[in-house]
Structure 1
Amino acid sequence: MENKSVDIKSLSRKTLSNQVIDEIISLLTTGQLKPGDRLPSELELMEICNVSRPVIREAMTSLEVLGIVNRKTRNGTFFSDKIGSKPFSMMLALSATDLSSIIETRVALELGLITLAAEKITDEELAKLRDLIEEMKSLPSEDSSEIDKEFHKIIALAANIPLFEAIIDPLQNFHQKVLEQIPLEDRNLAQTLNYHIDIYNALEKRDPVEAYASMYSHLDFVRKKVLKNLKGE
């Protein structure tokens, strides 16, 4: 397999590794290479970028950590076929102490996803949501977090947007830490159940507007509970 001819600018001596990273990513943004394509070899990149092997290897290691490239023994280095969860997980980790920001990120993301899910959701996915609601009804305690997590994940995946799929799990994991700020006695399982039933009914009707409103009511309820407990009210 021959490498495609690519055009990378000559770099200055300042922050060489970061510049190599920027130029390699530009191969995707400019359309010179596509996800899954093989990158030029280390030697070729050294010549194109006019930098040393350690600089190229440092850049490649950073890109691999971010999940942008995959290095395969003997076969070379390839751009990933799809976005992984690592970049978004790192962004959330840097915001781990800003719980209100994590809540609002979830609100913004899920309100968009549910409108699309209302248009695309399958009968099979609706059946899974019904089963989860029945599980929630039979819970012996106020802790519905695991069922709630699966309920929202099914809706997010029903939107069928590959770009967002890598975001869903890390955001849910961080939001779980947010929910832990609400004591069990304040979670109000009955109200939570009603919100989920309303969301399900809107999705079953394939009504994006009603689905949006139902999801907002649910998430706003959770947001206010969390913020109240964070403030110690």
Structure 2
Amino acid sequence: MSDALKVSRRKLSDEVFDRLYAMLLNGDYRPGDSLPSERQLMEMFGVGRPAVREAMQSLERAGLVSIHHGQRPTVTMPTASGVLSQIELTAMHMLSSSPQSLEQLKEARAFFELGMVARAAQKATDKDIERLETLLEMQRSQLNVDVGAFIKTDMSFHVAIAEMTGNAIFIAVSNAMLNWLANFHTEALHWKGNEHVTLEEHARILDAIRSHDGDAATDEMRAHLDRAGMLSLIS
């Protein structure tokens, strides 16, 4: 009898989830809106409190609502970075379980980087150029001083290029891929004794972007990533 009840409750919560999700897709509740109270949802769907709570927890895990004690759940504004954060643990597990997945991730990163740097060269503003120059100088200042800061600034340089595209999905993907690689292969991030090569490559990429030369920027980024693919994952 108890097993039957457990199965029934699970199915009810799935049904509640599906109905609420459909309402979100239909625009019945927009980002920032509060959903009905537990009691209202129980009456609306003709189910008990457990089914409503389980469905709401599933919505929260999916990043669709935020739940705060004593308040009604609030519909969240979906973002590309939020969507990717939902799969971070799965991505890390995939990378740790499959060498092939790591190689595919590196290939995907190169594909995105080449497209992004070409777009960045087209759209670069004076402010964008100044930011890249600042990041390059920051990285240069960490040479033989702080390996962790050198790598972090290296990643920031690449993310800044993604941000220059103005595409939120490019930015989120760039951040995610760099972080996944950094978390999975920290020992491979530092090409000891040859940091100057990274700085020279970044400087050439910056020069091409400054000249708004998308082809040159792509060529320089390709050379940078080809070398990086053999020697490290980030720089």
Write the distance in 2 (CA, Å) between the matches of 1:72 and 1:183: 39
* Contact 1:95 1:101 survives alignment (8 Å): no
Q: Which amino acid aligns with 1:57?
A: R
Cα displacement (A) at 1:225: 2.7
Residue in 2 aligned with 1:134?
A: 137
User: Which string of whole-angstrom CA distances, capped at 9 and with x for unpartnered residues, describes residues 82-111 of structure 1?
Assistant: 422531423423324143243234334333
Task: Name the structure with the higher helix share.
Answer: 2
* Contact 1:142 1:184 survives alignment (8 Å): no
Q: Which amino acid aligns with 1:140?
A: N
Cα displacement (A) at 1:136: 3.4
* Contact 1:202 1:208 survives alignment (8 Å): yes
Give structure 1 regions of 4+ aligned residues with deviation exceeding 6 angstroms: none
* Contact 1:92 1:102 survives alignment (8 Å): no
1:217 maps to 2:220: no
Task: From 192, 196, 199, give the equivalent of 1:193.
Answer: 199
Write the distance in 1 (CA, Å) between the matches of 2:165 and 2:131: 15
- Alpha-carbon RMSD across the aligned residues, in angstroms, is 3.3
Question: What stretches of structure 2 of length at least 5 have no aligned partner?
Answer: 1-7
| Residue correspondence of structure 1 range 32-47 to structure 2 within 5 A | 32-47=28-43
Write the distance in 2 (CA, Å) between the matches of 1:61 and 1:69: 9
Write the distance in 1 (CA, Å) between the matches of 2:26 and 2:218: 36
Q: Which amino acid aligns with 2:94?
A: S
Write the distance in 2 (CA, Å) between the matches of 1:131 and 1:89: 30
Residue in 2 aligned with 1:89?
A: 88
- TM-score between the two structures when normalised by the length of structure 2: 0.72
| Residue correspondence of structure 1 range 60-139 to structure 2 within 5 A | 60-73=56-69, 75-83=71-79, 84=82, 86-97=85-96, 98=98, 99-138=102-141, 139=143
User: Which string of whole-angstrom CA distances, capped at 9 and with x for unpartnered residues, describes residues 121-141 of structure 1?
Assistant: 332231121122233344126
SS at match of 1:177: helix
* Contact 1:178 1:226 survives alignment (8 Å): no
Write the distance in 1 (CA, Å) between the matches of 2:215 and 2:27: 37
- TM-score between the two structures when normalised by the length of structure 1: 0.73
Aligned-pair identity (%): 31
* Contact 1:67 1:86 survives alignment (8 Å): no
Q: Which amino acid aligns with 2:167?
A: I
SS at match of 1:100: helix
* Contact 1:42 1:56 survives alignment (8 Å): yes
* Contact 1:38 1:76 survives alignment (8 Å): yes
SS at match of 1:76: coil
Q: Which amino acid aligns with 1:203?
A: I
SS at match of 2:166: coil
Aligned residue pairs, count: 216
Question: What stretches of structure 1 of length at least 5 have no aligned partner?
Answer: 1-11, 228-233
Q: Cα–Cα, structure 1 residues 209 and 174, in superposed 2: closer, same or farther, change >3 Å?
A: same
Cα displacement (A) at 1:77: 1.6
